[in-house]
Amino acid sequence: MRNTRARRPQPAIREEKAGNTARGQVAQRKKPQGAAAGEWVSNKAALGGATARRKPVVKPGAKPMDGEVTTPPVARKAPVTRAKKLAVRAGSQKEVAKQKQLREKRLTAEQVGEERLQKALAFSGWGSRREVETWIAEGKVTVNGKVAELGCKVKPGDDVRVSGKRVQMRWADRLPRVLLYHKQEGELVTRDDPQGRVTVFERLPKLASSKWIAIGRLDFNTSGLLVFTTSGDLANRMTHPRFEIEREYAVRVLGELTDEQIAQLKRGIELDDGPAKFERIDASGGEGVNHWYNVVLKEGRNREVRRMFEHFELTVSRLMRVRFGMFGLPPRLKRGQFYELNETETMAVMKWADLKLNGEAKE
């Protein structure tokens, strides 16, 4: 069969071959000195630019060559599974209507009032308060055309700019959110861990316009109730020592306290960082060498419960927080699950803490 495909003109073919030959000669002349035969060289290096050599591929288990510097492989952190939400039955129509009303309620600009500049910018998602304070000190923040100073306040309607860029301000004009999480052992109460361990903030649901604040902390090997909120004033109300909010723990100990030791723990003992005491301590049974106790105290110093038992040379083999103030660990809340308070429950918390609807402290 005759080939009917169109053929390129012979002059075009000759021109293409000549161009390829010329480019190869230019690359050979521009090849950087010291490049070994057969070694790959980038186009940029071939044209006289900086030499960019491809890094040799080292197979696992292979020994490096003499003089070769190898970089240890970086372990990639596995993706963290988000915590599951505890499923609850919806309330009556009246309760659902009340929750919707509270969810849609907004404070007016007059009710919101003035707010410290660093707090307002942090709430609007422009970094932490410390970062904002640094920008203010450097003169990068202006309010209504004037350079802001530390301590100044802003209100809805003010023109706030950072490095000349106008900020779309957000204001705490609605109910905050409150969440109960059943922490598992092996999780850290921090936003970032250099060692790549799992943090509780990675397990929580993401927020669009604010961030979760942990009310108190739990040790790496301690499980139980953690309370999170978007209200900084509520977190301060529950954690500041002057409010003396109770914390209740279930403690499993290797050994048993004597009646005299229990009396001493109630009266108070001296630790390295000061006196400490239990407001209440009750024996809860146990098997063999393991004994359970329920203890209540009004502060939350680092490893305080464990250190109080270690004072009598008793080792805590398990520690779980079951209550924090008015919040108890729900019986149906499994480890790694969370429950978010509905609007009527959140409003009850605001009244208990003597805060405004938006979670701010009353003036």
Model pLDDT for residues 247-301, shown as the tens digit of each residue: 999 999 999 999 999 999 999 999 999 999 999 999 998 888 999 999 999 998 9
Same domain, 279 and 317: yes
CATH number at residue 304: 3.30.2350.10
Which CATH number fits the domain that encloses residue 157?
3.10.290.10
| 3-class SS string, the chain | CCCCCCCCCHHHHHHHHHHHHHHHHHHHHHCCCCCCCCCCCCHHHHCCCCCCCCCCCCCCCCCCCCCCCCCCCCCCCCCCCCCEECCCCCCCHHHHHHHHHHHHCCCCHHHHCCEEHHHHHHHCCCCCHHHHHHHHHCCCEEECCEECCCCCEECCCCCEEECCEECCCCCCCCCCCEEEEEECCCCECCCCCCCCCCEHHHHCCCCCCCCCEEECCCCCCCEEEEEEECCHHHHHHHHCHHHCCCEEEEEEEECCCCHHHHHHHHHCEEECCEEECCCEEEEEEEECCEEEEEEEECCCCCCHHHHHHHCCCCEEEEEEEEEECCEECCCCCCCCEEEECCHHHHHHHHHHCCECCCCCECC
Residue 301 lies in a domain: yes
Is 322 inside a domain boundary? yes
Q: Are residues 202 and 304 in the same domain?
A: yes
**Within-domain flag for 363:** no
- Is the residue at 229 inside a domain? yes
Asked if the model's pLDDT at residue 27 lies above 90, the reply is no
Please check whether residues 119 and 139 belong to one and the same domain: yes
Across 11-20, 45-54, 279-288, which has the greatest mean pLDDT? Answer: 279-288
Sorting pLDDT into bands at 50, 70 and 90, what band is 304? very high
pLDDT in tens, 110-165: 888 899 999 889 888 888 888 999 999 999 999 999 999 988 999 999 999 999 99
Total domains in the fold of the chain: 2
Q: Which of 100, 131, 166 corresponds to the end of one domain?
A: 166
Domain of 262, in residue numbers: 178-352
Q: Same domain for 237 and 122?
A: no
pLDDT at position 40 is: 46
According to the model, what pLDDT value does residue 48 have? Answer: 47
Last residue within a domain, chosen from 166, 186, 206: 166
Q: Could you tell me if residue 26 is inside a domain? A: no
Q: Which of 42-46, 69-73, 81-85 has the lowest mean pLDDT?
A: 42-46
Domain match, 206 and 315 both: yes
* Average pLDDT rounded to a whole number, residues 226-241: 94
Residue 100: inside a domain = no
362 assigned to some structural domain: no
Q: Are residues 159 and 193 in the same domain?
A: no
Query: Of 166, 188, 212, which residue sits at a domain end?
Result: 166
Please check whether residue 128 lies inside any domain of the structure. yes
194, 145: one domain: no
Which residues have a catalytic role annotated? 219
Q: What is the pTM of this model?
A: 0.74
Whether residue 161 is found in the same domain as residue 182:
no
